Amino acid sequence: MTTIEKPAYKVIGTRPIRPDGVEKVTGKALYGADVHLPDLVHGAVLRSPHAHARIRSIDTSAAEALPSVLAVVTHADLPAVADTVIDTGEGVTRASDMSLNVLAGDKALYRGHAVAAVAATSAHEALAALDAIAVDYEPLPPVLSVRDAMRADAPLLDENRRTKQPDGALSDGPSNVAAHSRFEGGDLEAAFADADAVVEREFDTKMVHQGYIEPHNGTANWNPDGTLTVWTSTQGAFAVRAMLAELLRLPVSRIRVVPMEIGGGFGGKIGIYLEPLAALLSRECGRPVQLTMDRTDVFQATGPTSGGHMKGRLAVKDGVITAAEVSLAFEAGAFPGSPVMAGAMCMLSPYDVANFRVDAYDVVVNKPKVAAYRAPGAPNAAFCVEQLIDELAREANADPLAFRLRNSAREGTRMITGVAHPRIGHEETIGAARDSDHYQSPIEGPNRGRGVASGFWFNAGMQSSVVASVNPDGTVNLIEGSTDIGGTRASLAMQLAETLGIPYDDVRPTVADTDSVGHNDVTGGSRTAYASGQAVYEAGLDIQRQLVERAARLWECEAEDVSFVDGELRHASDADRRLTFAELAGKQMETGGPLQGRGSVVARSPGAAYGVHVVDVEVDPDTGKVDILRYTIAQDAGTAVHPAYVEGQMQGGVVQGIGWALNEEYYYNEDGRMENASFLDYRMPTSLDLPMIDTIIVEVPNPGHPYGVRGVGEVPIVPPLAAIANAIHDATGHRFTELPISPRRVVEELHHLR
Amino acid sequence: MKEIDYLAPASLDEAYAALQNGKTSAFLAGGTDIIVQLREGRKQVDQLIDVKHIPELMRYGWTDGGGLAIGASVPFAEIYEDAEIARRLPCLIDCATLVGGIQIQSRACFGGNIGNSGPAADTVPALIALGATLTLGSREGTRELPLEAFFTGPGQNVLAPGELIVTVNVPPQPARSGAFFHRFIPRNEMDIAVVNVGARLELDAAGERIAGARVSVGAVAPTPLFVEEAGAALVGQAPGEEAFARAADAAAAAARPITDMRGSIAQRVHLTRVLTVRALRRALERAREA
State the Cα–Cα distance between residues B68 and B87, nearest whole angstrom.
Answer: 13
Q: For residues A88 and A60, what is the distance between their CA atoms, to the nearest angstrom?
A: 33
pLDDT confidence bin for A2, thresholds 50/70/90: low
**Mean pLDDT on A375-400:** 97
- A21-27+461-603 and A33-140+216-292: same fold? no
Q: What is the DSSP string of A63-114?
A: HHHSTTEEEEEEGGGSPP--S-EEE-SS-EEEHHHHHHHHS--SEE-STT-E
Q: Provide the shortest C-alpha distance from residue B138 to chain A (in Å).
A: 35
- CB burial class (10 A; 0-12, 13-18, 19+) of residue A121? middle
Q: Is 60 exceeded by the pLDDT of residue A79?
A: yes
Q: Closest by alpha carbon to B183, among B81, B286, B276?
A: B276
Q: Which residues pair with A174 in a beta bridge?
A: A162
In the predicted structure, residue A747 carries a pLDDT above the cut 90: yes
Q: Which of the following CATH numbers is that of domain A21-27+461-603: 3.30.365.10, 3.40.30.10, 3.30.43.10, 3.10.520.10? A: 3.30.365.10
* Res A92 pLDDT > 80: no
Q: How far apart are the C-alpha atoms of B256 and B153, rounded to whole Å?
A: 13
Q: Strand B25-28 to strand B47-50: parallel, antiparallel, or no bridges (unpaired)?
A: parallel
For a pLDDT cut of 70, what percent of chain A falls above it? 99
Of the residues B102, B187, B197, the best mutation for testing chain A's interface (the one with the most A CB atoms within 10 Å of its CB) is B187
Confirm if B69 and B143 have CB atoms less than 8 A apart: no
Q: Would the CB atoms of A686 and B264 count as touching at under 8 Å?
A: no
Contact between B198 and B125 (Cβ < 8 Å): yes
Residue B261 has its nearest CB partner, among A624, A676, A754, at A676
Three-state secondary-structure class, residue A327: strand
Per-residue pLDDT reduced to its tens digit, A646-700: 999 999 999 999 999 999 999 999 999 999 999 999 999 999 999 999 999 999 9
* Total residues found in chain A within this entry: 754
Closest by alpha carbon to B149, among B138, B133, B163? Answer: B133
Q: How far apart are CA B57 and CA A321, in angstroms?
A: 71
User: According to the model, what pLDDT value does residue A82 have?
Assistant: 79
Q: Cβ of A680 and B1 within 8 Å?
A: no
At B1, is the pLDDT very low, low, confident or very high (cuts 50, 70, 90)? Answer: low
Cα distance between residue A238 and residue A513, in whole Å: 9
> What mean pLDDT do residues A159-181 have?
96
Segment 171-230 of chain B within 8 Å of chain A by CB: 184, 186-192, 194
Please tell me the distance in Å from B174's CA to the nearest CA on chain A. 31
Q: Which of A73-87, A266-280, B174-188 has the lowest mean pLDDT?
A: A73-87
Nearest by CB to A622, from B2, B187, B274: name it.
B274
* Phi, psi (rounded to 5 degrees) for B60: -140, 160
Topology of the domain covering A308-410+421-458+606-750: Aldehyde Oxidoreductase; domain 4 (3.30.365)
CA distances from B68 to B131, B168, B191, B253 (A): 11, 8, 28, 32
Q: Which residues of A touch B184 (CB under 8 A)?
A: 623, 625, 743
pLDDT score recorded for residue A83: 79
In this prediction, residues B38-55 reach a mean pLDDT of 94
Helix ranges restricted to H, B45-162:
76-80, 83-88, 90-96, 102-105, 110-116, 123-129
List, for residues B212-264, the tens digit of each pLDDT value.
999 999 999 999 999 999 999 999 999 999 999 999 999 999 999 999 999 99
Out of A124, A623, A743, the one facing B1 most closely (by C-beta) is: A124
CATH number assigned to the domain covering A33-140+216-292: 3.90.1170.50
Look at B187 and A744 and tell me if their CB atoms are within 8 Å: no
> CA A740 to CA A415: how far, in whole Å?
29
Q: Which domains does chain B have, with CATH numbers?
A: 5-50 (3.30.43), 56-170 (3.30.465.10), 177-289 (3.30.390.50)
Rounded Cα–Cα distance for residues A639 and A710 (Å): 7
Give, as one character, the DSSP assignment of residue A531.
I
Going along A334-372, which residue ranges are E strands? 355-364
Coil, strand or helix: which one is A659? Answer: helix
Q: What are phi and psi of A573, to 5 degrees?
A: -115, -15
* Cβ contacts of B227-231, under 8 Å, gap ≥ 24: B227/B251, B227/B254, B229/B253, B229/B254, B230/B254, B230/B276
Using the CB atoms, write b or e for B224-243: b if 16+ within 10 Å: bbbbeebbebbbeeebeeeb
Vertex A542, ends A541 and A544: CA angle to 5°? 60
Q: At residue A4, does pLDDT exceed 80?
A: no
List C-alpha distances in Å: A288 to A38, A233, A406, A680, B250. Answer: 8, 17, 61, 34, 63
User: Is B285 within 8 Å of chain A by CB?
Assistant: no
Give the dihedral of Cα atoms A361, A366, A368, A369; nearest 10 deg: 40
Closest in B1, B190, B267 to A748, CB measured: B267
Boundaries of every domain in chain A: 21-27+461-603, 33-140+216-292, 308-410+421-458+606-750
What's the average model confidence in pLDDT over A138-166? 97
Q: A299, A370, A211, A310: which is closest to A717 by C-alpha?
A: A211
